[in-house]
């Protein structure tokens, strides 16, 4: 269930946003999403590839010509917010070098508490897992995570299509652990939360699996 607002300003941004949030797509799939002709989509894709923002892979699906599947290049990914990456990484490295790993861990812990307080205050009075996921996705999207959620049977998937603190998290493992702790705190104690996909480990997005405690164990 997509809950993030459209941030696109032109055709190029719409293409990049769709591929960022839905993953690699063909020209026909993009055309269907945008309500344009496949040829029109293909022309835009070629233009974005020439600008270094997109790349394609030819995939054969049985009889017929291979299908071109388009994805973002590193330059294309860089079009999305990075939350002052260089400064953040410098600060993390400086704290670790000057004050030591324990001091850095304390800083991350303090950030975790601040995040939890902020989110729980924003979600005060919001009851029911679906309502909380909807509100939380809107907050995270406002912070650059392009968050959404969907329900599959008895479980929920919370998806973050972008990580605006990715470089900082790659520099400091504690950040991702802290994010997970915050996520569990915000969603509530009535659920079990596990991370299925992780951007830091090479996935396209971060995906959290949420199982209400009322669902019988398989």
- pLDDT (tens digit, 0 to 9) for every residue of the chain, 218 residues total? 544 444 445 888 999 999 999 999 999 999 999 999 999 999 999 999 999 999 999 988 777 788 899 999 888 887 887 656 777 888 888 998 999 999 999 999 999 999 999 999 999 999 899 999 999 999 999 888 999 999 999 999 999 999 988 888 888 888 999 999 998 899 877 889 999 999 989 899 999 999 998 876 55
For residues 201 and 142, give the distance between their C-alpha atoms in angstroms, rounded to a whole number: 24
Q: What is the pLDDT of residue 34?
A: 93
Residues 102 and 135 in one domain: yes
Where does a domain end: 53, 77, 101?
A: 77
Residues 94 and 141 occupy one common structural domain: yes
Which candidate, 152, 186, 162, 22, places its Cα nearest to that of 80?
162
Asked whether residue 3 is assigned to any structural domain, the reply reads no
Token look-up 């951007």 returns 199
Which pLDDT score is estimated for 9? 57
My answer on whether 143 and 206 are in the same domain is yes
Question: In terms of domains, do 71 and 177 share one?
Answer: no
**In a shared domain, residues 100 and 189:** yes
The CATH number of whichever domain residue 43 belongs to comes to 1.10.10.10
Closest by CA position to 182, among listed 110, 131, 126? 110
Q: Which residues constitute the domain of residue 188?
A: 85-212
Question: What's the number of domains the chain is made of?
Answer: 2
Instruction: Report yes or no on 1 lying in a domain.
Output: no
CA angle 119, 141, 6 (to 5 degrees): 150
In residues, how long is the chain? 218
What are the tens digits of pLDDT across the range 129-144? 999 999 999 999 988 8
Examine the fold and report which residue of 60, 77, 94 is the final residue of a domain before the chain moves on.
Answer: 77
Residue with tokens 């493992």: 173
Same domain, 114 and 53: no
pLDDT at residue 211 in the model: 94
Please indicate, yes or no, whether residues 42 and 144 belong to a single structural domain of this protein: no
Q: What pTM value is reported for the model?
A: 0.70
Dist CA 182 CA 193 (whole Å) = 11
Write down the pLDDT at residue 89. Answer: 84
Whole-number pLDDT of residue 164 = 86
Is residue 97 located within the same domain as residue 164?
Answer: yes
In a domain, 92, yes or no: yes
**Could you tell me if 23 and 90 lie in one domain?**
no
For residue 183, give Cα distances in angstroms to 113, 170, 191.
Answer: 12, 19, 11
Q: Are 155 and 187 in contact (CB under 8 A)?
A: no
CA atoms of 168 and 118, how far apart (whole Å): 20
Query: In this structure, are 38 and 115 located in the same domain?
Result: no
Please, what's the largest Cα pairwise distance for the chain? 62
Residues 173 and 103: their CA atoms lie apart, in Å, by 14
The pLDDT score that the predictor gives to residue 84 is 63
Domain membership of residue 117 (yes or no) is: yes
- 154 and 177 in one domain? yes
């Amino acid at each position: 269930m997509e809950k993030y607002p459209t941030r696109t300003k032109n055709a190029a941004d719409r293409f990049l946003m769709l591929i960022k949030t839905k993953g690699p797509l063909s020209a026909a799939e993009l055309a269907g999403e945008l309500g344009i002709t496949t040829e029109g989509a293909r022309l835009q894709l070629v233009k974005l590839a020439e600008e270094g923002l997109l790349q394609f892979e030819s995939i054969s699906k049985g009889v017929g010509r291979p299908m071109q599947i388009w994805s973002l290049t590193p330059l294309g990914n860089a079009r999305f917010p990075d939350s002052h990456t260089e400064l953040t990484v410098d600060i993390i490295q400086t704290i670790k070098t000057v004050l030591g790993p324990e001091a850095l861990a304390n800083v991350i812990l303090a950030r975790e508490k601040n995040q939890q307080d902020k989110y729980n205050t924003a979600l005060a009075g919001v009851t029911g897992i679906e309502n909380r996921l909807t509100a939380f996705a809107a907050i995270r999207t406002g912070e650059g995570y392009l968050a959404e959620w969907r329900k599959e049977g008895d479980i929920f998937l919370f998806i973050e299509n972008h990580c605006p603190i990715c470089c900082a998290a790659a520099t400091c493992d504690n950040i991702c652990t802290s994010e997970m702790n915050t996520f569990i705190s915000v969603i509530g104690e009535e659920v079990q939360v596990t991370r299925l996909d992780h951007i830091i480990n090479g996935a396209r997005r971060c995906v959290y699996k949420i199982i209400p405690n009322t669902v019988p164990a398989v």
